[in-house]
């Protein structure tokens, strides 16, 4: 057996962590796989829709990896570095083939090929799917491979173990991790040559989200506290239609509106009548009225904003306590109901009402963290993609500490395209393995073994933190604090952002942080203490909430999911063509300025006085940024003016854009 | 006072300690499910007698019946706590909701049990495809729509343990691998590539703790939340095991 210290520790066994573990095992590198839940139960199982890649059927229609790259960066409002995205899109077809070989039961065409469906943000049917449980099927295939390696002794699983922090030596190099057994509460060090964090997203900072119970951001907060930079925290995707439960927001697929579902609220605020008895004239079909052209099928971000606006600003939520609007399918014929069977059953199962006869109640739900721990990449100048195997790929600013999956900030920029995340998770797991391997064999990869006192010291430090938390006295309730934090974050730092409101939330975070110091446990025992785990994670959520809220406050623009109307570039409104052209030129000028000021990655670093912010240039070397003019008046003219401007820039001064048009 | 829901929870502090019942009263809300009840108790762990207690330990993750974590006995019936809605439970049993841990697995604490035996069974039946490697070598063999539709339900097994809990043959004294693992073995034996390892799986299915232990009580089928056709898998496994044993005998 190899030296204990030559192992790699992977935190998290979702798609990303499992893909990494499996590839490391294949390379005969021993892995300790640490996860709070049995890896098979990781949050990745929740994904229903599918996974994107170019495929023979879309190629036939002119699709290519390049167009997948283009859709992804356009959808992300150009905020992501392009070389990693290019590499991911290039790998897409191979990854789906691999998952197929590993036994995923993808839906089939009559001829026996994999079937694909279309998702938002593209013209092509790129999305492969396995029934309504694609994420579950993908993670099971990887779980099975890891079980195989486990039985061959290359992977050791530590399930129901919680990551408490990375171990950094005196030179700041990562030497492993400290984790706690969630049953016996034993705290111990896991020495390693490299640490890979694959702990997923952090939706619970917003209280309720579409994510699983363990998506707290606890692991992210602990890495951030130890010195890993946090990038683009303010970018969070909110899905327009989720079923608002008391405990969780469960996704309601877009197909409900696609098949003719209508969104409305009673015109009378909090009308208590049975919705079916409210006459047409007293219903406000606000999407249809406000967007006569697109009606209920406005793009996702617009639907999200309007539903939010109607409840929060117009105070027309059906239920005063729990914000929601009606998504009505009751008028549709029974054939349509049959077509939507799968999603209607989910609604029925949790709401115990039949959406065929009673309108569904839905509200936008926090869904995906585009931001995450910062990590590096190395571009291959020949291909424009990644220099595969470079130890820089996915390595954070802490040497020896790598980040992959939803936990990292790459690939999705300001906004994620549907079905691109399962791909990025598997892809990052696949490519991080050779990078880690090369890091380990390079001389600076911890050539000399650190003293064993380092591991004892770190375990003791975390043990002392646990003891202090258990011993803490006070009258604050961690569950109430979590709810208050989530409510304030959801109200002011999700869909529509306004600086005064965000400041309110920052004040609230100050208050919650103070009160948190008095949050005492009701369980002071030392066996399977879930109270301890939750309260500890709350501390991390407060830390990251500040990163998200302050990042949002500082970013005075609209980009992707970050929508701050006070800083929106004024859209053209002229009827006269000449005036329209002048306004379009003005718009483009403002847009160019916005790119120069804000097309940057937000970087937060932890300091004793809170996060310190800086901004980093984004690699847009493959596809130059262009305006997203969807739904704007004069969109064609803006596009035309922008193209001319770009052409002029290329011919003339390639460095600074000229100030006059 | 607003409507309250009475919840009796069977509690056990450690793996070796005895159990006791505690009763809590939770304000009713529409749409309330059992996992939320447990979260409410965690936020305010005071019994109906006014005694301070501790949060109830339980296992949960997805909260939408797809991860399999939250399986327990609710009103005496094994099922997922996240899809157990209070309205339905009160219709079944109006005076109180009872929560107990599963009985076929060791209790860790309260409602949290240790199901590692099920994951071990998956290891025993080689529930995986033996891929040559994770490099690019094209797609898997094509598969008919019918074959995909047959396989798909079996792939949705979330190792939740309902079937095992209900199975009279799965108990302390037996080495029975249980219906979920057998169904997975069948899934892989029917896969165009998985079947290359069929013999290794048949050794287990035909051996001690294999399919012969199934008494065909069909309880498992009735409790599976994913409606997996378990009895069909068990019948297939039974026939395949018979064939395998005969051919092994003939080859001797
Ligand atoms: C409802 C829903 C539907 C979705 N549908 C789609 C879709 O159709 N297509 C798509 O592409 N994407 C979809 N997504 C997004 C996608 O599912 C996720 O981004 C992806 O699964 C994340 O995978 P991951 O491997 O990064 O992390 P996860 O699957 O979240 O796994 C995280 C792992 O880390 C472990 N962990 C976390 N914290 C700790 C800790 N402190 N200590 C130890 N272990 C820890 C957990 O136990 C777990 O094993 C959906 C998301 C949601 C919420
Ligand atoms: S059919 Fe077999 S496996 Fe299923 S419950 Fe009965 S004995 Fe158990
Ligand atoms: S077969 Fe059904 S009951 Fe058994 S573990 Fe799988 S999902 Fe649960
Ligand atoms: S919490 Fe996942 S099945 Fe109930």
Read off the pLDDT of residues A107-133 as tens digits, 9 standing for 90 and up: 999 999 999 887 666 778 899 989 888
The CATH number that applies at residue A111 is 3.50.50.60
Catalytic residue among A283, A300, A515, A628: A300
Q: Are A236 and A301 in contact (CB under 8 A)?
A: no
- Please report the pLDDT score of residue A537 as a whole number: 98
Three-state DSSP string of A269-323: CCCCCCHHHCCHHHEECHHHHHCCCCHHHCCHHHHHHHHHHHHHCCCCCCCCCCC
Claim to verify: residue A74 and residue A49 sit in the same structural domain? yes
CA distance A258 to A252: 12
The residues pairing with A26 across neighbouring beta strands, listed in sequence order, are none
Claim to verify: residue B16 and residue B90 sit in the same structural domain? yes
Which residues on B lie below 8 Å from A141 (Cβ)? Answer: 129
CA distance A51 to chain B (A): 15
CA distance A312 to A506: 19
Claim to verify: residue A110 and residue A248 sit in the same structural domain? no
The residues pairing with B26 across neighbouring beta strands, listed in sequence order, are B5
Claim to verify: residue A274 and residue A147 sit in the same structural domain? no
- Please report the pLDDT score of residue A656 as a whole number: 42
More confident residue, A69 or A634: A69
Closest alpha carbon to A248 in B32, B57, B98, B29 = B32
- Please report the pLDDT score of residue A450 as a whole number: 81
- With CB atoms and an 8 Å threshold, state whether B123 touches A151: yes
Nearest ligand, CA B174:
2
A291-299: long-range pairs with CB below 8 Å, 24+: A291/A631, A294/A631, A296/A257, A296/A261, A296/A262, A296/A263, A297/A257, A297/A258, A298/A631, A299/A120, A299/A630, A299/A631
Q: Are A436 and A392 in contact (CB under 8 A)?
A: no
Q: At A661, is the pLDDT very low, low, confident or very high (cuts 50, 70, 90)?
A: very low
A242 phi and psi angles, rounded to 5 deg: -130, 155
Claim to verify: residue B102 and residue B176 sit in the same structural domain? no
The CATH number that applies at residue A318 is 3.90.700.10
ipTM over 0.85: yes
- Please report the pLDDT score of residue A27 as a whole number: 96
Final residue belonging to a domain, choices B87, B113, B139: B113
Claim to verify: residue B151 and residue B237 sit in the same structural domain? yes
- Mean pLDDT value across residues A263-272: 95
Claim to verify: residue B242 and residue B157 sit in the same structural domain? yes
Claim to verify: residue B25 and residue B108 sit in the same structural domain? yes
Write out pLDDT tens, residues A559-608.
999 999 999 999 899 999 999 999 999 999 999 999 999 999 999 999 99
Claim to verify: residue A102 and residue A43 sit in the same structural domain? yes
CA distance B35 to B38: 5
Partner B contacted by A351 (CB < 8 A): yes
Claim to verify: residue A406 and residue A323 sit in the same structural domain? no
- With CB atoms and an 8 Å threshold, state whether A530 touches B42: yes
Select from B33, B59, B66, B102 the residue to mutate for testing ligand 4; criterion: most ligand atoms less than 8 Å from CB. Answer: B66
Final residue belonging to a domain, choices B58, B80, B113: B113
Claim to verify: residue B20 and residue B133 sit in the same structural domain? no
Claim to verify: residue A164 and residue A29 sit in the same structural domain? yes
- Mean pLDDT value across residues B219-242: 96
Domain range for A425: 4-238+369-446
Claim to verify: residue B236 and residue B121 sit in the same structural domain? yes
Ligand 2 atom closest to the CA of B215, numbered from 1? 7
Claim to verify: residue A333 and residue A351 sit in the same structural domain? yes
- Mean pLDDT value across residues A473-478: 95
Partner A contacted by B83 (CB < 8 A): yes
Claim to verify: residue B105 and residue B177 sit in the same structural domain? no
Final residue belonging to a domain, choices A331, A364, A397: A364
Domain range for B47: 4-113
Burial letters A207-220, b for 16+ CB under 10 A, else e: bbbbbbbbbbbbbb
Does a structural domain hold residue A106? yes
CA distance A314 to A306: 10
Domain count, chain A: 4
Q: What pTM did the predictor assign?
A: 0.95
Would you call A300 a catalytic residue per the annotation?
yes
CA distance A106 to A133: 10
Partner B contacted by A635 (CB < 8 A): no
Claim to verify: residue B50 and residue B75 sit in the same structural domain? yes
Q: At A660, is the pLDDT very low, low, confident or very high (cuts 50, 70, 90)?
A: very low
CA distance A501 to A563: 13
Q: At A1, is the pLDDT very low, low, confident or very high (cuts 50, 70, 90)?
A: very low
Q: Is the CB of B180 under 6 A from ligand 3?
A: yes
- Please report the pLDDT score of residue A302 as a whole number: 80
- Please report the pLDDT score of residue A659 as a whole number: 38
Claim to verify: residue A143 and residue A252 sit in the same structural domain? no
Claim to verify: residue A294 and residue A379 sit in the same structural domain? no
Claim to verify: residue B246 and residue B128 sit in the same structural domain? yes
- With CB atoms and an 8 Å threshold, state whether A46 touches B133: no
Final residue belonging to a domain, choices B113, B145, B160: B113
Interface of A with B in 243-272 (CB under 8 A): 245-248, 250
CA distance A536 to B129: 39
The CATH number that applies at residue B221 is 1.10.1060.10
Nearest ligand, CA A370:
1
CA distance A525 to chain B (A): 9
More confident residue, B217 or A487: A487
CA distance A496 to chain B (A): 28
Claim to verify: residue B91 and residue B145 sit in the same structural domain? no
Domain count, chain B: 2
Claim to verify: residue A418 and residue A480 sit in the same structural domain? no
CA distance A656 to A659: 9
Q: Are A438 and A391 in contact (CB under 8 A)?
A: yes
CB atoms < 10 A from the CB of A1, how many? 6
Which residue does chain A place closest to B43, by CA atoms?
A: A479
């Amino acid at each position: 057996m190899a030296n204990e210290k030559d192992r790699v520790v992977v935190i998290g066994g979702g798609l990303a962590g499992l893909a990494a573990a499996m590839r490391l095992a294949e390379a005969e590198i021993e892995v300790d796989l640490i996860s709070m839940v049995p890896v098979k139960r990781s949050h990745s199982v929740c994904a229903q829709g599918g996974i994107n890649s170019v495929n023979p059927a879309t190629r036939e229609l002119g699709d290519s990896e390049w167009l997948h790259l283009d859709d992804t960066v356009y959808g992300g409002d150009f905020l992501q570095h392009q070389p990693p995205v290019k590499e991911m899109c290039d790998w897409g077809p191979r990854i789906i083939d691999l998952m197929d070989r590993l036994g995923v039961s993808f839906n089939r065409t009559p001829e026996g090929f994999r079937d694909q469906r279309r998702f938002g943000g593209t013209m092509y049917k790129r999305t492969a799917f396995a029934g309504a449980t694609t994420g579950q099927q993908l993670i099971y295939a990887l779980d099975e491979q890891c079980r195989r390696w486990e039985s061959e002794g290359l992977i050791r699983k530590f399930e129901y173990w919680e990551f408490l922090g990375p171990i950094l030596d005196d030179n700041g190099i990562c030497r492993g991790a400290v984790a706690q057994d969630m049953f016996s509460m034993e705290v111990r060090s896991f020495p390693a040559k490299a640490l890979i964090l694959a702990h997923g997203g952090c939706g619970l900072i917003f209280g309720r989200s579409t994510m699983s119970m363990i998506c707290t951001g606890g692991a992210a907060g602990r890495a951030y506290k130890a010195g890993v930079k946090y990038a683009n925290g303010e970018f969070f995707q909110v899905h327009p239609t989720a079923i608002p439960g008391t405990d969780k927001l469960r996704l309601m697929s877009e197909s409900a509106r696609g098949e003719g579902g209508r969104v409305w609220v009673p015109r009378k605020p909090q009308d208590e009548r049975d919705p079916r008895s409210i006459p047409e004239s007293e219903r406000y079909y606000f999407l249809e009225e406000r967007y006569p052209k697109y009606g209920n099928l406005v793009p996702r971000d617009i639907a999200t904003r309007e539903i939010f606006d109607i409840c929060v600003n117009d105070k027309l939520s059906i239920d005063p306590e729990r914000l929601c609007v009606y998504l009505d399918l009751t008028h549709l014929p029974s054939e349509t109901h049959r077509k939507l069977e799968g999603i209607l059953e989910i609604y029925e199962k949790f709401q115990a009402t039949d959406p065929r006869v009673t309108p569904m109640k839905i509200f936008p739900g926090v869904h995906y963290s585009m931001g995450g721990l910062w990590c590096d990449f190395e571009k291959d100048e020949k291909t424009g993609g990644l220099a595969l195997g470079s130890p820089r790929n996915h390595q954070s600013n802490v040497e020896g500490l790598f980040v992959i999956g939803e936990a990292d900030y790459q690939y999705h920029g300001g906004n994620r395209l549907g079905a691109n995340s399962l791909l990025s998770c598997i892809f990052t797991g696949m490519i991080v393995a050779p990078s880690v391997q090369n890091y380990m064999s390079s001389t600076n990869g911890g050539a000399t073994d650190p003293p064993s006192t380092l591991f004892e010291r770190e375990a003791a430090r975390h043990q002392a933190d646990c003891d202090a938390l258990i011993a803490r006295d006070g009258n604050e309730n961690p569950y109430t604090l979590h709810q208050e934090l989530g409510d304030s974050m959801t109200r002011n730092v999700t869909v529509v952002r306004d600086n005064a409101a965000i400041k309110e939330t920052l004040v609230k975070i100050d208050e919650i942080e103070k009160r948190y110091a008095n949050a005492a446990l009701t369980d002071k025992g030392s066996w399977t203490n879930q109270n301890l785990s939750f309260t500890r994670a709350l501390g991390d959520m407060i830390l990251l909430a500040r990163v998200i809220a302050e990042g949002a406050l500082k970013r005075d623009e609209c980009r992707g999911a970050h929508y701050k109307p006070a800083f929106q570039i004024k859209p053209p409104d002229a009827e006269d063509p000449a005036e329209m052209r002048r306004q379009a030129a003005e718009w483009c000028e403002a847009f160019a300025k916005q790119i120069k000021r804000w097309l940057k990655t937000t970087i937060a670093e932890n300091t004793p006085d809170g996060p310190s912010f800086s901004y980093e240039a984004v690699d847009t070397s493959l596809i130059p940024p262009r305006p997203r003019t969807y739904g704007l008046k004069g969109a064609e003219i803006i596009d035309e003016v922008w193209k001319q401007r770009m052409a002029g820039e290329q011919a003339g001064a390639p460095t600074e854009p000229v100030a006059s048009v | 006072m607003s409507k309250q829901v009475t919840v009796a929870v069977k509690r056990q502090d450690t793996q070796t300690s005895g159990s006791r019942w505690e009763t809590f009263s939770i304000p009713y809300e529409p749409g309330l499910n059992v996992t939320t009840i447990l979260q409410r108790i965690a936020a305010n762990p005071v019994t109906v007698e006014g005694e301070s207690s501790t949060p109830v330990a339980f296992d949960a993750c997805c909260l939408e019946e797809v991860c399999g974590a939250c399986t327990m006995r609710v009103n005496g019936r094994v099922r997922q706590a996240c899809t157990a809605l209070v309205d339905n439970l009160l219709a079944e049993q109006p005076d109180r909701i009872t929560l107990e841990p599963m009985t076929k697995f060791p209790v860790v604490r309260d409602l949290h049990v240790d199901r590692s035996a099920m994951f071990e069974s998956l290891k025993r039946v080689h529930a995986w495809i033996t891929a040559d490697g994770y490099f690019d070598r094209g797609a898997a063999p094509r598969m008919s729509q019918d074959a995909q539709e047959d396989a798909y339900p079996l792939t949705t097994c979330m190792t939740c343990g309902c079937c095992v809990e209900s199975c009279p043959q799965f108990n302390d004294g037996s080495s029975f691998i249980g219906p979920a693992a057998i169904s997975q073995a069948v899934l892989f034996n029917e896969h165009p590539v998985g079947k290359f390892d069929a013999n290794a799986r048949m050794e287990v299915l035909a051996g001690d703790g294999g399919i012969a232990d199934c008494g065909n009580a069909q309880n498992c089928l009735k409790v599976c939340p994913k409606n997996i056709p378990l009895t069909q898998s068990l019948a297939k496994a039974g026939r395949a095991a018979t064939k395998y044993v005969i051919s092994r005998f003939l080859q001797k």
